[in-house]
Amino acid sequence: MDLRETNAQEVDDSGWTKILRPQPRLLHLPLRELWRYRDLIWLFSARDVATTYKQTVLGPGWFILQPLMITVVFSYLFGRMAKFGSDDIPHYLFYMGGLVPWQFFADSITRTSNVFTGNANLFSKVYFPRLAVPLAALLTNLVPCAVQMGLFLIGLVYYVLNDNPFTHPTWWVLLTPLIFLQLGALALGIGCTVSALSRRFRDLAFGLKVGLQLLMFGSAIVFPLSRLEPDERALFFLNPVVPAIEAFRYAFTGRSLVEPWHLALSAGVSLVVCVGGLLLFHRAEQDAMDTV
Amino acid sequence: MVVLRLEQLGKAFRLGEIGRRVFFRDWRNKLTARDVLEDDPDVYWALRDVSFEVREGEVVGLLGANGAGKSTLLKLVSQITAPTRGCVKLRGRVASLLEVGTGFHPELTGRDNVFLNGVILGMTRREIAAKLDEIVSFSGVEKFIDTPVKRYSVGMRVRLAFAVAAQLEPEILAIDEVLAVGDAAFQQKCLGKIGEVSRSGRTVIFVSHNVASIESLCTRGVVLDKGRLAFDGTQSAAIEAYAATRGGRTTDLRTRTDRLGSGEVRVTAVELRDSSGRPVAVARSGDELQIALHFTRSAGATFPRLAAQVTITTYLGAPVFTFANWLNGDQFGDLPEEGILVCRIPALPLPVGHFTIGFRISAEERGRRDPFDGMEAAADLHVEAGDFFGTGKLPPLRLGVCLVRGGWKLEHQSRPAVA
Query: Helix H segments across B324-375?
Result: 325-328
- Does pLDDT of A118 surpass 90? no
Angle at A78 between CA A259 and CA A143, to 5 degrees: 65
At B174-204, the pLDDT tens digits run 888 765 555 667 777 777 777 787 788 888 8
Q: Which member of A13, A20, A122 has the closest CB to residue B79? A: A20
> Which residue of A lies nearest to B53 if distances are taken between CA atoms?
A9
Q: What is the pLDDT of residue A2?
A: 40
Is A234 exposed, middle or buried, given 0-12, 13-18 or 19+ CB atoms closer than 10 A?
A: exposed
Whole-Å CA distances, B100 to B70, B115, B196: 18, 14, 19
Q: What is the pLDDT of residue B183?
A: 63
Residue B213 or B291, more confident: B291
Tell me if A52 is assigned to some domain: no
CB B101 within 8 A of CB B150: no
Query: Torsions phi, psi of B389, nearest 5?
Result: -95, -5
Whole-prediction pTM value?
0.75
Q: How far is A8 from chain B (nearest CA, A)?
A: 10
Q: Is the ipTM of this complex over 0.85?
A: no
Q: What is the pLDDT of residue A5?
A: 41
Q: How do B265-273 and B172-176 pair as beta strands?
A: unpaired
> Which residue of A lies nearest to B115 if distances are taken between CA atoms?
A43
Q: What is the pLDDT of residue B129?
A: 93
- Does pLDDT of B17 surpass 70? no
Q: What is the pLDDT of residue A50?
A: 83
Q: What is the pLDDT of residue B179?
A: 58
Q: Which of A73-77, A104-108, B69-73 has the highest mean pLDDT?
A: A104-108
Q: What is the DSSP string of B312-324?
A: EEETTS-EEEEEE
Which structural domains are found in chain B, ordered by start?
A: 2-245 (3.40.50.300), 250-399 (2.70.50.60)
Q: Residue B83 and residue A22: Cβ atoms within 8 Å?
A: yes
Tell me if A230 is assigned to some domain: yes
- Does pLDDT of A145 surpass 70? yes
Tell me if A41 is assigned to some domain: no
| Structural domains in chain A (count) | 1
Q: Residue A126 and residue B23: Cβ atoms within 8 Å?
A: no
d(CA A38, CA B333): 79
Question: Residue type for A225, please?
Answer: L
Angle at A161 between CA A160 and CA A162, to 5 degrees: 90
Half-sphere exposure of A285 (CA within 13 A, CB side): 29
Q: Best interface-test mutation with A: which of B8, B14, B55, B79 has the largest number of A CBs within 10 A? A: B79
Q: Residue A20 and residue B125: Cβ atoms within 8 Å?
A: no
d(CA B155, CA B150): 12
| Average pLDDT value over all residues in chain B | 84
Residue pairs spanning A and B at CB distance below 8 A = 106
Buried b (16+ CB within 10 A) or exposed e, B102-122: bbbbeebbbbbbbbbbbbbbb
Q: Residue B2 and residue A9: Cβ atoms within 8 Å?
A: yes
Is A19 exposed, middle or buried, given 0-12, 13-18 or 19+ CB atoms closer than 10 A?
A: exposed
Q: Best interface-test mutation with B: which of A45, A125, A135, A204 has the largest number of B CBs within 10 A? A: A125
Whole-Å CA distances, A276 to A26, A175, A188, A218: 11, 25, 10, 23
Q: Domain range holding A172?
A: 59-291
